[in-house]
Structure formats: C-alpha cells, structure tokens
A and B are shown apart, each in its own frame.
Chain A
Amino acid sequence: MKYKKNKPRIAIVGLTSCEGCQFVILDQGKRFLDLLKEVQVDEFRLIEDDPEPASGYDICFIEGNPITKANIKLLQEMRKRSKFLIALGNCAALGGVWELKNYQDKNKTIRQVYKKTKVENPDIKEVDNFVKVDLTIPGCPINGDEFMELVWQLLKGRLPQIPQKPVCDECQKLGYECLLQKGEICLGPITLGGCKAVCLKSKQACWGCRGSFEGAQIENLMKYLLKEFPREKVYHVMEVFGARDSILKKLDIDTTPKKATKKVNTKK
C-alpha cells in the first residue's frame, strides 16, 4: 500500500493493559480500512513489526497503564514526538482495573501471585501523572462509534470535546430500566455519557469506567448512596474501574487510599 504524502502520522501505542481498546479499533473492520486511507499509521504493533520508529507523529494514542519503568520511558518519549497525545481507554485515563491494588496492601497483593520473582510493583497512576494529555477517549473498553467520530474530528486538526452529559441521559432516552431506582449502586448520574449506556442495556449498573463529567453533582449522588448503602459497598463499586480517587478528589472527603475497605470485607 503506497502512502500519499502529507497524510497525518498516527501512532497507537499500548502500555500495560488487556489491549481491548486496540482491538475495538481493529474491530471497526471496513471503517478502520477507510481510516487507513486517510492517515499514515507509523506505529501500531498489532498490525506491524517494523522496527524503525518514526521521528514524529501528529496524533499518538496511548492505551494501557505505565506500570513498568520501560512503559514510563516509552510514554515520555511518545509525548516528546507527538503533537496530540490521546489517552485511550480506562487504563490510561483512570488507571484501569489494576488500580484496585492501590486500595490494598500492595506487598501482600503481589505475594498472592509471586513467591520469588522480582516484579515491578508501583502504585498505579494515570497517564496524566507522567505527561500532558490533550484528550481522553474514555471507557472500558472505548466505544467504537465514539472513537471513529473523535478521530475524524482530530484529523481535521482540532481537539474535539465530548459532550459533558451523564450516562443517565442516554439510558433514559433509550428507555432502559433505572437500576438506581431499583435499588442498585449505579454511578450513571455522575459518569460521562457517550457509551450509549451499553451496560444498562444489559442491566448492569454503571460503575463509572468513563469517569465523571464536568459539572456532575457528585456530592448529591454520594450523599444518596451513602445513605442507602454501606460505605464499603459504595467504595467497592467505585474502585473497580479506578473511578474512586478521581471522583472523590472533587469532593471535600479524605480520599487517600486506605486499606479499610478490604479489611472490612475479608472479615469472617
């Protein structure tokens, strides 16, 4: 396939993750092939094994979490070489499922897995703790339609904005049952929409994988949830997709990760 000159140069880079967001991109099938006609993909390990990195990129998508020192080095290198750096998916944006470790005694957690191997075991930190992030494409995994739409806007050279609306907006419009009213812990009212309330469609309450939106009434929802449910259960739900710290830091509540929730829940 010959490249036309002056096409935007793209890099899609995975740090430590399940790579599911990269597969969402590949799963776009023909739409992905159409995109390939308009851009030059210089870096996307799932489809190429060319050793030479390019000198610069117009858009770099970072998927996954920088767990290893090599991950951090690569992330910083990609930032230097890229005009726009996009955090792709929940691991990059909010730390991912692995951030659960931050709420546990991580030295104990690692002993559940490794008896002797020396493995890097840092606290999990979001990508924006290491480099400037120009745009976040949220979700675990990302939503394919939303990704394609945002990319086409990016290719026009502007940074798009995801409409700051809750998951509840789409959930109600699509006529799904309200699980919060039904008595489940649901973070839909404060979580950024754009996922088409896909979990609610399957009657799974929202656990906040897309993070909270600007202007979300976090305090109201927290007051309600803490009145209705034990604090540990509310925190547990908020921890699964790394939303707990980012949501609570917007409130005047002590959010330093404590081992409290785990201790309570492992009691006999």
Chain B
Amino acid sequence: MKIQVNHIGKMEGHTDFVAEIIKGDVKSAKIMTTEGARLIEGILVGRHFSEAPIITSRICGICPVIHKVCSVKALEKAMAISPSTQTVKLRKAMLMAQTIHSHALHLFFLSLPDFFDITNDLKFIGKYKKETECAIGVRQWALKAIEVIGGRAVHPIACEVGGFKTLPSRQELKELSQGYESALKDALCLVNMVTKVKLPQSKRKTTFIALKDGKTYPFYGGNIGILYPDGKSREIDEVKFTKHVKEIEEPYRAAKSAELDGEPFMVGALARININHSHLNPLAAGIFKSLKWKMPQYNVFHNITCQAIEVVHCVEELKALLEDLSVNLEDEISKSAKLNLIASANPLGKESWGSDAAEAPRGTLYHHYKISADGYLREAKVITPTVSFLKNLEADIAAYLPDIKNMPEKKRSLKIRALIRAYDPCISCATH
C-alpha cells in the first residue's frame, strides 16, 4: 500500500510525502522536499565575511533574525571580536520578538486550524475573529520590536559583526515596552485556545536537543543540552555540535537531514520545554505547571502547546529587556565601524574559523565559517532546525501510520498533514 500526500500547504517551503506499507508494516516514510536548491553555503565561498549575515538571513523569510544573529556570532568567534553587553541585550530582544511572531503565525494560522478540521485560513479567520485579532496583535508588537531595533521586520539591517550600525532611541524602546500589557493579553488568549483544543496523540520516544545553561531558558547561546529517551541527559560544548550531529544526504530530496550519533532527534519548542521548563519566566511557568504534564512530553502535537507557552515566556522576556534598554541604552559605536571591518581583512591577520549555535523558533541552529587572512570566506556551513528534525519527523509519521492507515484517503491525508505541520517545518531553511 502506497500513501502519497502531495503539495503540503500552510508551511514554509514545498514538500510532498510518500510512504509504503507492506503487510501492515511501514516500510518507508519519506518527506520528499520539492524546493529548489539555492546552494547558499556554496555561494558564500569566496565572498567577503561581512556579506555572510546579509546572505544567510535570506535563507528564511520567517526566521531571518536568528540566521543573521547566529551568522554574526560565528564570525565574531572566528575573529575574536566580543560584542558589548548592550549589543547582546539588543540581539536577545530581537530573538524574543522573532520567536513570538514566528510561533504566533505558525500555531494559529498554520497548525491550529487542522484540529478544527479547517484547511483554509480564510474560513478559520471568519469563525474565530477575536482569536485572529489576538494572533495579529501579539505579532504586530513583535514585528515592531524587530523593526525598531533591526531597522526592518523581514531581513533586519542594523545588526552586524561587532554590534549595531544604528541604535534605537530610548524613547522608541520605551514606547515599545508600553505595548506589553496588550501583547500579553493576546498571548494568553492564544494559550487559552491551544490548551483547550483536543490534540491527537503520538507517543514515540525520542532524543531532544536544545541549548542549555542551567540558569536560564536560553535562545542566544549555551551548551548543547541532550535529553535521551532513557531519561539520561548530557551537555556538550557548542563547538562540538558537528562532532555528534552529522548531516546526511538522501538521494530522494535536496534537503539534507541529520542524526545525533546515528539516531534521529527532535529540536524546537517541545525540545526546549522538555530540557529547560524549570527556567521559564513566571507567567509561562504558571501555564506550564497548570498542564500537569508527565515529563518529558513525547506527544509531538504538543509542539504547538509548547510554542504557546514560549510566546508568553518571550513576551515577558522582551518586556524586561525593553524596560532595561529604554533606561540604560548608551550611544555606542559598532566594532565593525571601530575596526573598519567592512570589506577589510581578517583582523587576526591569518586564516581563522568560528562556529555558533543559537535557538531559532524551530530549534537549534548552527553556523560555521572559515575566514581567510584577507577577510574572504573559505568555508560556510549552516545546519538548520528542520534539517535536524527531518529524520525524527519521518520516524514519527511512520509510528503514527498504523493508527490511521485504514482511514478514508482524504481523512488520512489530513492527519498526516496535521502531524507534519505541528512540527513547524521550514523546507526553505532545510533546502538552503
């Protein structure tokens, strides 16, 4: 028996799905990406390092902020440039804002309608007007924050190696922070909707990966935290990411996939909550506790519940950062300008390399660069969250198929689409 699901909509990028079931056993379950290859890692080679954050942010239109920040951080590590505390705060604020708007878009417009059996958002929007306003409301606040700090919401501009080309004013940041109450109300409205909906079950045990620092709920940096299905956990240094996580090429798709020491693994909101739930901000922690989950949570459909909790966490975090910056922001010159780095040689005067891991909305993202003495890129490597979880997604669908294989084709197709969408895959990112 062959199961084919074509042109899966309401997700970033393009993919089909094909599975084969023989005598009741799932023989294969393949995500067949149909996105064209843009060869971004290839085209970067030979380009000046200062172009890398500009070019790699074009990997993805929904999460350009994290590509830009991760790229900048990896380049800074390569050239031993340390950003100021203020720069780090501004970057963190942008990451919070991006996670809010990406999650709110995904959980409300892309995934949730599936559990109301609605495939067209226009019908969903018409039926849930108040909730639509909440999703849009919290997104607008976050988009505005990226615009104020980064200069533009999609593909922000000001963030560069060593700092920011221009800084927002204290007044702008203060006005932004005043949007908190309303954004929080909207975020809680989304939580209310997500926690009330009846989600399907999937219980396959797996390994989770997320950044971990033992003190906070990290997005910006930390060690690689790993939680194994037997309950054991470990941490590895982020520079050793590719020692354990290996990219794999599959003949049937342009997107690569990855394995952790030979096994599939999960990244993203569900992984972060499983690894770092004890460090959520107070309101988000309260929501998490009220769910009374037995941890770790293995039902991948709860990825959207975790996203809703993270929206509240990030709203709280963004408010704190904005309030701090609106009082303490000082005029400062980016180190790129100070060291005249644009179109210049590597300040170390020799070939060097650097890598960085950060949490994108969809999970741990990794950038790596080698820079020549004259400032040009010799190597570029990007491992995106969707690449990381693609094998896990295939394994989860394979485990889910026996439950749904006897359903009428249309219904079964919707179930598969719903599971794929709950993962929040970004095929554009995966096929960079």
- A22 to B62 alpha-carbon distance, docked (Å): 9
Cβ of A253 within 8 Å of any chain B Cβ, yes or no, is: no
A18–B36 touching, CB < 8 Å? no
A68 touches B (CB below 8 Å): yes
- Cβ contact within 8 Å between A97 and B41: no
Residue-wise, chain A 33-62 has the 8 Å CB interface mask toward B (1 for contact) of 100100001000111111100000000000
A227: chain B residues within 8 A (beta carbon): none
Query: Which residues of the partner chain B approach A23 to less than 8 Å between Cβ atoms?
Result: 61-62, 154
Cβ of B80 under 8 Å from chain A: no
Pick the residue among A14, A49, A67, A140 that contacts B155 (CB under 8 A).
A140
Contact of B62 with A19 in the complex, beta carbons under 8 Å: yes
In the complex, the answer to whether B155 meets A266 with C-beta atoms within 8 Å is no
Contacts of B284 in A (CB 8 A): none
> Are B42 and A141 touching (Cβ within 8 A)?
no
Q: Report the Cα distance A101→B153, complex, angstroms.
A: 27
Q: Hey, which chain B residues are within 8 Å of A29, CB to CB?
A: 136, 139-140
Q: Determine whether the beta carbon of A36 is less than 8 Å from that of B122.
A: yes
Q: Tell yes or no: A240 within 8 A of B by CB.
A: yes
The residue in B14, B105, B109 that gathers the most chain A C-beta atoms within 10 A of its C-beta is: B14
Contact (Cβ within 8 A) A48 B119: yes
Q: Which residue of A lies closest to B351 (CB)?
A: A268
B91-123 CB mask vs A (1 if < 8 Å, else 0) is: 000000000010001000110000000011111
Tell me the B350-406 residues at the A interface (CB within 8 Å). 372-374, 376, 378, 380
A26/B374 contact (C-beta < 8 A), A112-B45, A236-B48 known: no
B9 touches A116 (CB 8 A): no
Tell me if B10 is interfacial: C-beta within 8 Å of chain A.
Answer: yes
Kindly provide the distance from the CB of B334 to the nearest chain A CB, expressed in whole angstroms: 9
> Does A16 contact B36, Cβ atoms closer than 8 Å?
yes
Contacts of A68 in B (CB 8 A): 34-36
Specify which of B37, B123, B417, B428 is in contact with A67 (CB 8 Å cutoff).
B37
Looking at A153-161, A199-207, A214-222, the stretch in contact with chain B turns out to be A199-207
B411 within 8 A of A: no
Interface presence of B331 (CB below 8 A):
no
Closest residue of chain A to B122 (Cβ to Cβ) is A1
Binds A, one of B19-27, B226-234, B249-257: B249-257
Whether B154 contacts A113 by the Cβ 8 Å rule is no
A27 touching B154, Cβ below 8 Å: yes
On whether the beta carbons of B428 and A18 are closer than 8 Å, the reply is yes
Q: Let me know if A109 and B45 touch, CB within 8 A.
A: yes
> A19-B62, A27-B154, A109-B43 known; A201 and B122 CB under 8 Å?
no
Does chain A have a CB within 8 A of B319? no
B119 touches A18 (CB 8 A): no
Q: Which one, A76-84, A118-126, A129-137, A163-171, is touching chain B?
A: A118-126
Measured CB to CB, the closest approach of chain A to B122, in angstroms, equals 5
Known: A96-B58, A114-B249. A20 touches B342 (CB 8 A): no
- Give the distance to chain B from A141, nearest Cβ to Cβ, in Å: 5
> Given A1-B126, A112-B42, A198–B152 Cβ distance below 8 Å?
yes
A14, A66, A117, most chain B CB atoms within 10 A: A117
Contact yes or no, A121 B153, CB < 8 A: no
Tell me the minimal C-beta distance from A77 to chain B in angstroms.
Answer: 13
Nearest A residue (CB) for B13 = A19
Task: For the complex, give the distance between the alpha carbons of A141 and B132 in Å.
Answer: 25
A18-B60 contact, Cβ under 8 Å, with A67-B38, A100-B47, A201-B166: yes
Q: A233 near B61 (CB under 8 angstroms)? A: no
Task: Give, as a whole number of angstroms, the nearest-CB distance from B39 to chain A.
Answer: 5
Task: Mark out the residues of chain A between 84 and 106 whose CB falls within 8 Å of any chain B CB in the assembled complex.
Answer: 96-98, 100-101, 104, 106
A109 vs B37: C-alpha distance in the bound complex, in angstroms? Answer: 11
Chain B residues within 8 Å of chain A by Cβ, number: 72
A215 to B253, CA, bound (A): 45
- Which of A16, A26, A110, A113 gathers most chain B CB within 10 Å? A113
Q: Are A47 and B13 in contact (CB under 8 A)?
A: no
A120 to B38, CA, bound (A): 10
Across the interface, do B41 and A48 meet the contact criterion of CB distance under 8 Å?
Answer: no
Output the least CB separation between B142 and chain A (Å).
10
- A27 touching B38, Cβ below 8 Å: no
Indicate whether A30 reaches chain B with its CB closer than 8 angstroms. yes
B55 to A: closest C-beta gap in Å? 5
Whether the Cβ atoms of A109 and B140 lie closer than 8 Å is: no
Q: Which residue of A lies closest to B132 (CB)?
A: A33
Whether A202 pairs with B109 at a CB distance below 8 angstroms is no
Report the Cα distance A96→B57, complex, angstroms.
13
User: Do A49 and B36 have beta carbons less than 8 Å apart?
Assistant: no
A115 interface hit (Cβ, 8 Å): yes
Nearest chain-B residue to A71 (Cβ)? B36
Residues 113-163 of B at the A interface (beta carbon under 8 Å): 119-123, 125-126, 132, 136, 139-140, 143, 150-155, 157-158
Q: Are A19 and B61 in contact (CB under 8 A)?
A: yes
Q: Is the CB of B38 within 8 A of A48?
A: no
B157 partner residues in chain A, CB cutoff 8 A:
198-199, 201-202, 204
Q: Please determine whether A109 and B42 come into contact, CB atoms closer than 8 angstroms.
A: yes
Q: Does B59 contact A (CB under 8 A)?
A: yes
Within 8 Å CB of B120, what residues of A? 47-50
B9 contacts A45, CB within 8 Å?
yes
0 or 1 for each of B175-193: is its CB under 8 Å from A? (1 = yes): 0000000000000000000
Query: B residues within 8 A CB of A121?
Result: 37, 39
Residues of A close to B154: CB separation below 8 A: 20-21, 23-24, 27, 141
Task: Tell me if A65 is interfacial: C-beta within 8 Å of chain B.
Answer: yes
> Could you name 12 residue pairs across A and B whose Cβ atoms are closer than 8 Å?
A20-B64, A30-B136, A45-B14, A49-B10, A101-B42, A104-B43, A109-B39, A112-B41, A114-B37, A202-B151, A262-B46, A265-B376
Task: Mark B residues whose CB is within 8 Å of A.
Answer: 6-10, 12-14, 34-43, 45-48, 51, 54-55, 58-62, 64, 101, 105, 109-110, 119-123, 125-126, 132, 136, 139-140, 143, 150-155, 157-158, 165-166, 249-251, 253-254, 342-343, 372-374, 376, 378, 380, 417, 428
Additional A-B contact list (10), CB under 8 Å, known A98-B39, A118-B251, A203-B158: A27-B139, A45-B10, A51-B7, A97-B38, A98-B38, A98-B43, A117-B249, A121-B39, A141-B61, A266-B372
